[in-house]
Amino acid sequence: MISAGPVSRFYEWMLSKGDTRVQEWPLMATPGPVLTIFLMYLITIKQGPKLMEAQKAMDLKKCIVVYNLGLVALSAYMFYEFLVSSVLAGYSYICQPVDYSTNPLALRMANVCWWYFFSKIIELLDTVFLILRKKPISFLHAYHHSTMLLNWWLGVKYIAGGQSWFLAMLNTFVHVIMYSYYGLSALGPQVQKYLWWKKYLTILQLTQFFGVVIHTGVNMLQGDCEFPQGFNYAVFLYAISLIILFGNFFSKTYNGKQGKRQ
């Protein structure tokens, strides 16, 4: 049995390795708050549909339209910040270490990384809306939402910037288009009949994951790059898992079956 001493020391050691700039930022001091949100999310997925069994599906059209438009605006803001901050700081697509200084551009990048993490908390409402509308929740949906939450807490805590900027920038660009689609789709059948591009939205999502694999893979081959290789391996494997899951979704959805929102 593992004693409390080594576990406690390991926990303190892990926290001591965090980025001191974000230590006092909301939700970043310890993993407790984000783990609580994560567990509550899993409980909601498990118990929510059961609680809705005896209830009528809710009509949330207006709420969902506003929610999606809000995420379009937030995603556009984050994309702009990732793009401009990286260009002004002269980021490299081959090897980009994290700048842990208090340089204004370094702090600007860390700040948008935090907002990107926080957006993953907001996006958990995707699942809540599905439950309240009595829509099915796929494994892909639950896996992607829950893991991104934890992944980006770690990202902000330890690597707020550097190589991680690229995948976040790509994802915010995709989310501008994705949440635009969801917002328009929520307006009803009179608009949905014009949304012929859902298939291409899924292709765009898959393309971003391939882009992350290539970008991370190139960096992994740079033996002298000062970005932590452990995070590179984690991002590389995670992107592959999403390629497999989204690829499976694409195959099933566009083989004569109506797609479900992910």
Asked if 160 and 99 count as a contact pair (C-beta separation under 8 A), the reply is no
Q: Which tokens is 80 given? A: 């702009």
User: Does 144 qualify as catalytic in the annotation?
Assistant: yes
State the catalytic residue, choosing from 144, 145, 175, 215.
Answer: 144
Backbone angles phi, psi at 25, to 5 degrees: -75, 155
Is 98 strand, coil or helix? coil
User: Token match 């576990």: residue?
Assistant: 7
Q: Give dist(CA 143, CA 157) in Å, integer.
A: 21
Separation of alpha carbons 86 and 204, rounded Å: 22
DSSP label of 26: T
Identify residue 197 by its one-letter amino acid code: W
> Which of 145, 180, 205, 167 shows the shortest CA–CA distance to 82?
167
Comparing CA positions, the residue from 204, 151, 152, 142 lying closest to residue 175 is 204
List the catalytic residues: 144
